[in-house]
Amino acid sequence: MKINYEKDTAGYLDITFGPKWDYIALTRPYVENFLLVNMTEKEHIHKVGTAASELLENATKFSGDDGIRMIVKKSRHKNEVQLSVYNYLDKQRAQELIEKVNYMNTQDSFEFYIYRMKESVKNKQEPSKLGLARIYHEGQAKISAFYHEESKIIEVRALFTV
């Protein structure tokens, strides 16, 4: 997949790896150190680092043995950081994820986060499913998801104002 880097990009980080849980823990500090070069606010760096971990965990759960790609871009002229995670996913799961993201974006971030926390407590046997809600509320990110049907790749994007 070809990624188009805008002329507005002050810096970017592009990482591709196999879906292995161990890589997630290594990637977060790498992302945070990259952001230290481009930003000074530790609060924003922490938000993007947390989102990277959450999105990579989701990608690792659903990508099988295929690779995962993560791109972090810092805008030169806007106070924005964009985090994108790409992984292979079947069309049905991709549509379900897109619907969840679209629904979440219509909700108040705090109320949605509390709702997901309550659901997590009720369903202790299942995974918490708090990742996107956490990015949406704690990270104050705009989240979107796109499915590239020809390549069977889902892209989940979080846009942060920094």
* CATH number of the domain bearing residue 133: 3.30.565.10
Instruction: Please check the confidence at residue 2 and state whether its pLDDT lies above 60.
Output: no
pTM: 0.89
What confidence tens digit (pLDDT) does each residue in 31-43 have? 999 999 877 688 8
What confidence tens digit (pLDDT) does each residue in 47-83 have? 999 999 999 999 988 876 678 999 999 888 888 999 9
Closest by CA position to 161, among listed 103, 75, 96, 99: 75
Over residues 3-30, the mean pLDDT reads: 81
Residue 125 lies in a domain: yes
Residue 1 lies in a domain: no
Number of domains within the chain: 1
Angle between helix 42-62 and helix 21-38 axes, rounded to 10 deg? 150
Domain range holding 101?
Answer: 9-161
Residue 4 lies in a domain: no
What percentage of the chain exceeds 70 in pLDDT? 91
Predicted confidence band of residue 11 (pLDDT cuts 50, 70, 90): confident
Give bridge partners of residue 68 from the DSSP assignment: 17, 87
